[in-house]
Amino acid sequence: MITVEQAYIRGRKAGESAAKDPQWRLMAESVMEWAKKSYPASGELDYKHEVLKLEKERLNASLDLTKFPECKEWMDVVRAEHKGFYDGCKDEWMTAHHFNWYWFVSRRLNTRYVRKAAPKGKCTGVWFGHGKEGPMAGQNLDDLIRPFQKFNPPEKGPSGKPFEKITLVGSASSAVLCDEEPENIFPVDVFEIMPEDINKLPDFVDFLYRYREFFGPGNMVFADTEMNSVAIEKSNCRMGVRWQKNGASAVTACAYLTPEMNAFKKERDRISFELRGFDPVDNPDYVFWAGCEKRYRRLLELVEKEASGMPTLQGLADIMLDHAVPFPDRICLAGEKGHRLDWDANWTLVSSSSVLFGPTRRTLWWRKEGDKPIYETKPFLILGEGVEIRPEWIKGTRLEDGGRIC
């Protein structure tokens, strides 16, 4: 755990950076506009006031230290970081938004104000703990197109530095309408307060379960120092676990496949349909969520097939860019809509596939450009520091067209 002084310095640097970044405010305004459109029943709320109020409520909340003994010094750390952020930006609302917006959406809007339509976030994360060239990770960013957002390739490829602790290696958004609200609201970063001696995945999962109210929602893949992995599926207060198969794990968005989480989400989905007066089947959310589940099942089939042999970087990239079947089953998105009443559409904006360690570590990195889906563009080839390029890596990348090595 960091010290109070370190927390203040980190917060101040983040606050100063936010104050200088014009895109920060554009994004903050954009997500509030999205929320007004998405949660019409919350239309009378002053979001800025609500988030400012949450900042005070959460920082003044208590924690049961007999149940959460790892947080004994944590509360001072949190308050120091918040103060540092404010001192860096001199803006109360910016501070409150930075630390509370995601929590406000998941623990207040999603629980108290039924959405007009489900959020269409659909990121994907894939992990192979073994492969022809070693461990590999793939990640897609799927989202709405926002004209002010620009995506540039990483300056460096994978560092090759061994994992020193259990590490997040893939993630995707996933949440539940009409979800439960947590009893504990004080901000706790579960991964910062986790004891350093937790280095085995069963102990890690047990720890996450005890702190399940404090993180997520979302779907995540974690890997340990021996490259074993586990997928975690999270709502606000519940958690499902799916252990690796053939050394591989994967998650995608807006669905759960562990039986207890799948059943919980579908029960809450039905409640949300009733509250909105929707037909139980012919409505945008039912169609979207059913499509997400089909997509998730296809993802696991593709990953299992690749993992049953000797996984390759090209095999991983083919999964991340999958468009061999129609929407919604496909992994890579190209602006499709599933229902006649859908009012927005998602695209895969960025995709990466990486060999993480060893002398061939490198990343294939795609971004959406113009009106084309990313699978119709060529990737950047980004080498790890000190890695020498091999002729066979050039084929199919931008280097074929005279592009530079990143």
108 and 128: one domain? Answer: no
Whole-number Å distance between alpha carbons of 289 and 322: 19
147 and 270: one domain? Answer: yes
Whole-number Å distance between alpha carbons of 338 and 345: 9
Consecutive sets of 10 residues in the chain, 406 residues long: mean pLDDT of each? Answer: 95 96 89 86 90 96 95 96 97 95 94 71 90 97 81 93 96 92 96 95 98 96 98 98 97 96 96 90 90 96 97 98 94 84 80 97 95 94 96 92 64
251 and 372: one domain? Answer: yes
Instruction: Note whether residue 341 is domain-resident.
Output: yes
Residue among 328, 327, 305 nearest 316 (CA):
305
75 and 164: one domain? Answer: no
CATH number assigned to the domain comprising residue 165: 3.60.60
83 and 150: one domain? Answer: no
92 and 239: one domain? Answer: no
Range of the domain at 74: 4-112
Show the tokens assigned to 62: 């208590």
Give the per-residue pLDDT at 189: 97
pTM for the model = 0.91
Give the per-residue pLDDT at 116: 62
Give the per-residue pLDDT at 120: 60
173 and 249: one domain? Answer: yes
Which of 62, 88, 112 is the last residue before a domain boundary?
112
Instruction: Note whether residue 393 is domain-resident.
Output: yes
Instruction: Note whether residue 374 is domain-resident.
Output: yes
Give the per-residue pLDDT at 44: 86
Give the per-residue pLDDT at 203: 98
Question: How many domains, in total, are found in the chain?
Answer: 2
Instruction: Note whether residue 203 is domain-resident.
Output: no
Specify the amino acid at residue 322: D
Contacts of 220 (CB under 8 A, 6+ apart): 125, 168, 170, 171, 172, 231, 232, 234, 251
- Are the beta carbons of 57 and 185 closer than 8 angstroms? yes
58 and 149: one domain? Answer: no
Whole-number Å distance between alpha carbons of 405 and 389: 9
77 and 136: one domain? Answer: no
240 and 367: one domain? Answer: yes
Q: What is the pLDDT of residues 5-36, one digit of tens each?
A: 999 999 999 999 999 998 898 988 888 988 88
The CA-atom distances, in angstroms, between 359 and each of 23, 128, 160 are: 37, 18, 9
173 and 239: one domain? Answer: yes
Instruction: Note whether residue 159 is domain-resident.
Output: yes
Instruction: Note whether residue 71 is domain-resident.
Output: yes
Give the per-residue pLDDT at 146: 77
* Helices within 105-174 (DSSP H only): 110-112
